[in-house]
Amino acid sequence: MATWNADKPALANAISADVPDCEENLQELHDVITAITNGTLGTTTAADFRVDAGGIASNAVETLKIKDANVTAAKLAAGVIPSFGSYIAKSTNTIYQAAEDGFVIAYVRATTFETQCYILGLIGAGSPPTTVLSAASVGVSTEGSRIGALYGAMTFPVKKDDYWEVDRHLMVGTVDYFVNWMPLV
């Protein structure tokens, strides 16, 4: 265990340079804990915070450093915190190339008896995509009892510039289906 030794000026200078920041942070932490204990902290909203290259700042804490290696100051400064874009309707049996990272959401529903159908979510770096990443199926018999399921759905991620397709295979009967692309913007 390290001990304090004032006879070592270089160590003392290095430690004392960090003491003001440490004291401020401890005081801010004490103030927050006191507010929580007293029930006077209030509600924090997104408007109370700002994100900059140095970290996350708020009215209560001047700067919070981010230690997670995946969240870097460069990424924050560049605005690399994605959010979901709007749904974009797409078709089955059509190959698409992703202009940005996103998700494919697909749904199939049996609408008549004697229906059998499955859908495959395909991705790949080239066209046509050949890697099956997800699948869903439906099936109903003549008597109305289920062979598989009345509804099927799947969701899968797609990287920017990769190709993707929802491949529909209707063996018999009729189905409703939809395919949506949700980009990360």
For 95-142, the pLDDT digits (tens) are 999 999 999 999 999 888 788 889 999 999 999 999 999 999 888 876
Structure tokens at 112: 């008549």
Cα–Cα distance for residue pair 165/79, rounded to 1 Å = 30
Neighbour count for residue 27 (Cβ, 10 Å): 10
pLDDT 10s digits, 45-64: 444 445 544 445 544 444 44
CA atoms within 13 A on the CB side of 38: 9
**In CATH, what class is 88-183?**
mainly beta
Cα–Cα distance for residue pair 86/103, rounded to 1 Å = 11
Q: Is the pTM of this model over 0.75?
A: no
pLDDT 10s digits, 137-184: 888 876 655 566 788 999 999 999 999 999 999 888 888 999 999 998
Q: Determine the 3-state secondary structure of 133 from DSSP.
A: strand
